[in-house]
Amino acid sequence: MATLKQLKTFVAVAEYKKMSEAAKKLYISQPTVSQIISDLESEYKVELFERQAKELKITQAGALLLANAQEIIAINEHIEQSMHNISSKRPLRIGATLTIGNTLMSTLVEFMLQSHPDIDVTVFIDNTRMIEHRMIHNELDIALVEGIIVREEILTEPVIDDYLKIICSMNHPFAKKDLVTMDELRNQDFIMREKGSGTRAIFENIMVSNHVPFTTKWECSSGTAIIDAVRHNMGLGVLSERCVKEPVAKKELHVCSIKDISMKRFFYICYNQQHPVTSQMRDFITAAKSMQNEPCSAAYNCSL
């Protein structure tokens, strides 16, 4: 019977596709990792990985073990959390992508805690790629993201509408327009979110699918930095309308839509389907769904 340590090591090797990388992440030696994989293959009398030149490729038997190992690890961590907190509050580790973390998460958590003060909330904010990574490794219970989750293990459900907008300086030629065409965006300079951002991925997909080239002049994870650069006419930006309501109201920025192109998107609730759905996760889902009809408050901003 495989031990929990063996299963965690196997999952790490499957994730990083190299024993050396798995060893680094687990803070153990590479020979130890190699021995654990060898022991598992001997235990189950199967080959778990094909040893290729640059990386390991998981076999069909390995894929079967991986699915079960992830489930066992998730259940074990749930048991540990439950027993450690049996006489205290219900713990809930929430992930949020940057737009949501900077505009909506505090309001959402505050609203939830008014009805459920026994929930002990921890929040982690980063881009979609990092949120997905943490969910796969059972470092988060649930998340609210604006980007596209690609891992099949993670279930997603759209719960809140959102709209992306082109933003520009009041001195930019677009400041006189409410609508711009795709052709007008051709070869424009943009201040973009970092790679891994859901906002960036959606906009890049629109531009690529319409064969419209553009230049990324700045790249950063801070919505505040993007707004400031756009305000100084360093380029155009793309952000959620939630992020720019205040500077637009102050006439520091102008927003445009793209003619005949929808930049509507959704904020998605997501969680690892191999993770038990707890009562606090259900309470968070209910709270998030109740935010659908909340107006975009002028208090929202993208400061970090």
**Mind listing the pLDDT tens digit for each residue in 207-236?**
999 999 999 999 988 888 999 999 999 999
The encoded tokens of residue 257 equal 């839509």
Q: What is the pTM of this model?
A: 0.60
Give the pLDDT confidence score for residue 297 in this predicted structure. 39
Find out if CATH 3.40.190.10 is the number for domain 90-158+267-290. yes
Model pLDDT, residue 299: 34
Rounded CA gap, 50 and 262, in Å? 45
Q: CA-to-CA distance for 240 and 218, rounded, in angstroms?
A: 18
Residue 207's contacts (CB-CB under 8 Å, 6 or more residues apart) are 185, 213, 214
Amino acid in the structure at residue 102: N
Asked: is 4-73 a CATH 3.90.920.10 domain? The reply is: no
How many CA within 13 A on the CB side of residue 75? 8
**Domain chopping of the chain, boundaries:** 4-73, 90-158+267-290, 161-264
Q: What 3-state class would DSSP assign to 202?
A: helix
- Angle at the Cα of 294 from the Cα atoms of 196 and 259, rounded to 5 degrees: 60
Residue reference for tokens 């709209």: 163
CB 242, CB 103: distance < 8 Å: yes
Q: How far out from the chain centre does Cα 82 lie?
A: 25
Give pLDDT, residue 298.
34
Which option is the CATH number for 161-264: 3.40.190.10, 2.102.10.10, 1.20.140.10, 3.20.20.10? 3.40.190.10
Q: Specify the pLDDT at position 223.
A: 85
**Strand-strand pairing, 90-96 and 142-145:** parallel
- Residues lower than pLDDT 50 in the chain: 295-304
